[in-house]
């Protein structure tokens, strides 16, 4: 026992030097201070209830407590998670006040308790505890109530015994790493005789001292512990829980769509250089105010074509024409884009093309009556060529109009021969017109033989009138 004091001191010193933090920020803690041992708790008295019997006079410090006027305990604990920590406490004391129940003694108090000196007995305790902190539950930054259970071994003079322990504690934190701690522990011994220096009585041990938490991990060195650091591997700022703000625009990088360029909160940290409400990454004209419709570019004439793409930026025009207004080449009030005959004046009703009048159709058919073929053939007589050219010229004046060429014969000859001849002559006229520049898609031809006479076939004049090619407007 004589070397136990030194061994105890060395053990505690080693434990303190090798410790590392306490809550999840500082998982280790070291506490030291003074302790008081009170044996009153197990001094029996008949006729009292359990609590009164066991715990009355608990705070009669001057009468019942044994206190060394020096640092007399050291505790080392480690936080293991979810409010729990595990620790070891070593303590020393000197027992000069031992409480027994002896109502017959002239020194007994009104409760029958007698306090005696059992002989300045040395007291040593080594205890392990499991502590639960209620600090998170009450959501306090400075007040930490706790409860603990555990067990240990106590040397009480020449006696020694194991104990089962339980108690309560309260710590007032002055800062994140330092606090003032109070703890009371009931140590239950199964020695039953309560003979000083022979048995270890059940007793209360009270602690008061300073607690220091330390050993917190700060991987990125930004002064914010990893537990509270949302970005533990990247140095950041306290206002962003340890996350960085690279461009210093007040928006942390994880929420910043443009972390390397200072921007605005309304655009998730992205810039809007020209202040037109469109972020630079979506702005086709970063340095010039524009509109959302134009992807950030201006449209001075309001024609829906951005100035940078507008060939006529100061005149309202059409996108299909490069932002310029469409011309009306023939001046017929039908724009070229809608004008099927842009170089020939026409009417709006006919999409800018000229309409074929009745007079024009009469002229065509007057020409048609003068088309002469070689007898019984579809070949033209020489004097007919100018007539065909005149018809060609008229048709070209109406580039979108479609015409049907209809051939007719007199009654001379067989019907089937006349039908064939009328078809061939109508086709011959069509072919001439196509060969001279009239679009074939605008023309069709057919023959009617002798079936549709316009005059009598009994006279030479009548027969001549019946041999004709009529021109019809296809609507």
The answer on pLDDT for 11 being more than 60 is: no
The CA distance from 153 to 334, in Å, is: 111
pLDDT band at 4 (very low <50, low <70, confident <90, very high): very low
What pLDDT does 53 receive?
A: 58
The answer on pLDDT for 314 being more than 60 is: yes
The answer on pLDDT for 18 being more than 60 is: no
- Residue 45: is it exposed, middle or buried by C-beta count within 10 angstroms (0-12/13-18/19+)? middle
The answer on pLDDT for 17 being more than 50 is: no
Mean pLDDT of 186-210: 93
Pairing of strands 159-173, 143-156: antiparallel
Mean pLDDT of 235-245: 90
Domain ranges of the chain: 4-214, 358-474
What are residue 405's DSSP bridge partners? 445, 471
Q: CA nearest 240: which of 229, 249, 226, 232?
A: 229
* pLDDT, greater one: 30 or 191: 30
pLDDT band at 14 (very low <50, low <70, confident <90, very high): very low
Secondary structure (DSSP) of 318-365: BGGGTTBPPP-TT-SSS-TTT-SSTTS---TTTTTSPPPPHHHHHHHH
Pairing of strands 443-447, 402-408: parallel
Q: For 130-134, 202-206, 300-304, 339-343, which range has the lowest pLDDT when averaged over its residues? A: 339-343
The answer on pLDDT for 80 being more than 60 is: yes
DSSP 416: H
DSSP 271: -
Angle between helices 358-369 and 385-396 (to 10 degrees): 160
pLDDT band at 402 (very low <50, low <70, confident <90, very high): very high
The answer on pLDDT for 242 being more than 50 is: yes
pTM to 2 decimals?
A: 0.51
What pLDDT does 13 receive?
A: 41
What pLDDT does 15 receive?
A: 38
What pLDDT does 55 receive?
A: 62
The CA distance from 445 to 467, in Å, is: 16
Task: Output the six-digit token pair for 385.
Answer: 């060529």
The CA distance from 269 to 248, in Å, is: 10
Q: How far is CA 143 from CA 26, 172, 179, 209, 311, in A?
A: 17, 5, 9, 15, 75
Mean pLDDT of 276-294: 90
What pLDDT does 102 receive?
A: 87
Q: Across all residues in the chain, what is the average pLDDT? A: 88
Query: What is the CATH number that goes with domain 4-214?
Result: 2.40.160.20
pLDDT tens for 419-439 read 999 999 999 999 999 999 999
What pLDDT does 259 receive?
A: 92
What pLDDT does 50 receive?
A: 58
| The most confident of 28-32, 235-239, 319-323, 412-416, by mean pLDDT | 28-32
DSSP 246: T
Q: What superfamily would CATH give domain 358-474?
A: OmpA-like domain (3.30.1330.60)
φ, ψ of residue 24 in degrees (nearest 5): -65, -20
What pLDDT does 7 receive?
A: 40
Q: CA nearest 409: which of 463, 471, 472?
A: 463
pLDDT band at 345 (very low <50, low <70, confident <90, very high): confident
What pLDDT does 37 receive?
A: 97
What pLDDT does 48 receive?
A: 56
Mean pLDDT of 56-65: 83
Mean pLDDT of 196-201: 93
Exposure of 304 in the CB half-sphere (CA atoms within 13 A): 6
Q: CA nearest 367: which of 409, 405, 418, 398?
A: 405
């Amino acid at each position: 026992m004589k070397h136990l004091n030194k061994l105890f001191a060395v053990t505690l010193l080693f434990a303190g030097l090798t410790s590392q933090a306490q809550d999840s920020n500082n998982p280790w803690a070291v506490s030291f201070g003074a302790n008081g041992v009170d044996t009153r708790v197990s001094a029996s008295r008949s006729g009292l209830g359990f609590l009164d019997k066991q715990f009355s006079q608990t705070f009669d410090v001057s009468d019942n407590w044994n206190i060394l006027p020096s640092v007399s305990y050291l505790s080392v604990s480690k936080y293991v998670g979810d409010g729990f920590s595990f620790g070891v406490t070593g303590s020393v004391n000197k027992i000069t006040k031992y409480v027994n129940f002896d109502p017959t003694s002239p020194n007994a108090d009104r409760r029958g308790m007698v306090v005696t000196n059992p002989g300045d007995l040395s007291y040593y305790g080594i205890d392990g505890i499991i502590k639960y902190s209620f600090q998170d539950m009450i959501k306090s930054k400075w007040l930490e109530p706790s409860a603990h259970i555990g067990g240990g071994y106590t040397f009480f003079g020449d006696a020694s015994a194991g104990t089962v322990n339980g108690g309560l504690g309260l710590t007032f934190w002055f800062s994140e790493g330092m606090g003032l701690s109070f703890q009371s522990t009931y140590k239950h011994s199964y020695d039953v005789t309560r003979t000083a220096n022979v048995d270890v009585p059940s007793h209360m041990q009270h602690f008061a001292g300073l607690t220091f938490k330390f050993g917190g991990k700060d991987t990125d060195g930004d002064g914010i512990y990893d537990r509270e650091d949302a970005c533990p591997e990247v140095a950041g700022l306290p206002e962003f829980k340890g996350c960085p703000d690279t461009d210093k625009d007040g928006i942390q990088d994880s929420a910043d769509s443009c972390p390397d360029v200072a921007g605005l909160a309304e655009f998730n940290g992205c810039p809007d250089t020209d202040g037109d409400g469109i972020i630079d990454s979506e702005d086709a004209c970063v340095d010039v105010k524009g509109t959302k419709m134009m992807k950030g570019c201006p449209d001075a004439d309001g024609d829906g074509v951005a100035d940078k793409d507008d060939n006529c930026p100061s005149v309202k025009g059409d996108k299909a024409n490069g932002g310029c207004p469409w011309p009306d080449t023939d001046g017929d009030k039908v724009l070229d884009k809608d004008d099927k005959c842009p170089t020939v004046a026409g009417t709006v009703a006919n999409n800018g093309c000229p309409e074929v009048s009745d007079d024009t159709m009469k002229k065509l058919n007057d020409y048609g009556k003068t088309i002469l073929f070689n007898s019984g053939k579809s070949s033209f007589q020489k004097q007919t060529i100018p007539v065909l050219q005149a018809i060609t010229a008229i048709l070209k004046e109406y580039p979108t109009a479609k015409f049907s060429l209809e051939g007719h014969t007199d009654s001379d000859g067989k019907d089937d021969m006349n039908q064939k001849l009328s078809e061939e002559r109508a086709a011959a006229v069509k072919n001439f017109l196509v060969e001279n520049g009239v679009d074939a898609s605008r023309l069709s031809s057919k023959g009617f033989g002798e079936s549709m006479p316009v005059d009598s076939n009994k006279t030479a004049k009548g027969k001549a009138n019946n041999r004709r090619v009529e021109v019809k407007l296809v609507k």
